[in-house]
Structure 1
């Protein structure tokens, strides 16, 4: 039995599609079962509720062999620790009580770097990994850089103004990953019953790209000029606050992006094992362009 959290989210929904093609028994934890893709609803057992709730995870993990763990963002959290380790603590207890053998979690790059301890949301994510690893369960944390798919939040600006924004230097090249590659990595691990212990699995994408590189690729794929505008950290914080994001999450995001600008994601070498396949151009052709056209 494999339990999947966030089965209607970006990564979780893609993972569910991959696992649905297997012969494994599947159980999902979901707040709103109506949001499950229609082609997999009859394939899964549903536990309704939040996977941050002790009673819900107690039901969900009973009889489970493996769990896919992803903490959803909580912009209203009182602290980043509450958003990650606090949310995960009930599940950590349930892993032990129910003898879950393996957990695959979505995490971040940065462990072992000098700035990992002051990287906001990343620091909190790594503390979550430590909490899970401390239960004694076999654990693989998928250590990811920035997601290509986050650009989908800016589809309107890209389509209508030919502009996308971020807070990093325009020519800074860093790894980027497509969420479908994260889902693929998670599926491989969840279907493999041979691994044990605790380890980190970087998922780096096939190449480092800068915002300038991204603007050029998007311009070519979309057939219209796209430019990058760098936003200040203060402007980003003000914009997030105007959307109702809480102060703790805003500060956590600012600290994370400051650490990324200082090289947080540069500490892992790209090898055949750490390089995932989807290039930024492929992602633009297959995901961004249809989103912009739609």
Structure 2
């Protein structure tokens, strides 16, 4: 039995489909099962609730061979520790109680780079917490997701602009959630690995925001430009949107670290290079979203 947390998110939805296509038995933890497609619901087991709840993870992890661990977003958390470590401790205890053999986590690049990098540093601390439980653990370590630009579909549709904190000419890796789900599926379906490790998922190439704007212009058949937003301005906007002080600062620290080259520090190897290009992502995923937003 493979348990998937956050099955209605971008990674979780694609992962559940991949596991079912492989013939694996799947159980999910979902706060709102109605968000799972009916044709998927009838093929899986569902435990309703939060995977930060002891009773929920006890039910979900009973008899489980492997778990996909993905911390849900909590923009109003009072501290990074509560959002990452406190939320995860209950699951770590349950991994041990129920003899879960393997856990795959969604994490970040940046291990070994000194300094406080906000959400990145806390993701790595969460990896340490899970691995410290004694369970076999693989952390999928990623740069920023291509899919993040989906949140700007209305701006692309109406104004032909997308925003970010990166300098426009800074080349860096990005990856598609499609490839993250595929990497997670391979690990969850493979019962041969043991111990602890990290598996980078870097996408196929490094691109700057300006190069992305060129690709967007070509795919969307309209001029698209990139506009840089200073990190302090970005942080202030998060606070205006209801983020807690701790989470806004953690996000800002992560973005500043990426601007300083955090995502570029991971060597690009054939194993870390994944297939979905930014152009392919725009054609298959972003362009339909932009049309719908327009």
- TM-score bracket relative to the smaller structure: over 0.9
The CA distance in 1 between the partners of 2:236 and 2:260, in whole Å, is 22
The CA distance in 2 between the partners of 1:286 and 1:174, in whole Å, is 22
Q: Does 1:11 align with 2:26?
A: no
The CA distance in 2 between the partners of 1:65 and 1:206, in whole Å, is 31
Q: Deviations over 1:189-236 (max 9, x none)?
A: 000111111000000000001100110110011110100110111211
CA RMSD of aligned residues (A): 0.8
- 1:261 maps to what in 2? 259
SS at match of 2:42: helix
- 1:288 maps to what in 2? 286
Structure 2: 5+ residue stretches without partners: none
SS at match of 2:193: coil
Structure 1: 5+ residue stretches without partners: none
Q: What pairs with 1:212-223 in structure 2 (closer than 5 Å)?
A: 212-223=210-221
Q: What pairs with 1:24-173 in structure 2 (closer than 5 Å)?
A: 24-115=24-115, 118-173=116-171
The CA distance in 1 between the partners of 2:37 and 2:20, in whole Å, is 11
1:237 to 210, 218, 235: 235
Runs of 4+ in 1 over 3 A off after TM superposition: none
Corresponding residue pairs, total: 292
TM-score by length of 2: 0.98
The CA distance in 2 between the partners of 1:191 and 1:17, in whole Å, is 13
SS at match of 1:114: coil
CA deviation after TM superposition for structure 1 residue 7, in Å: 0.4
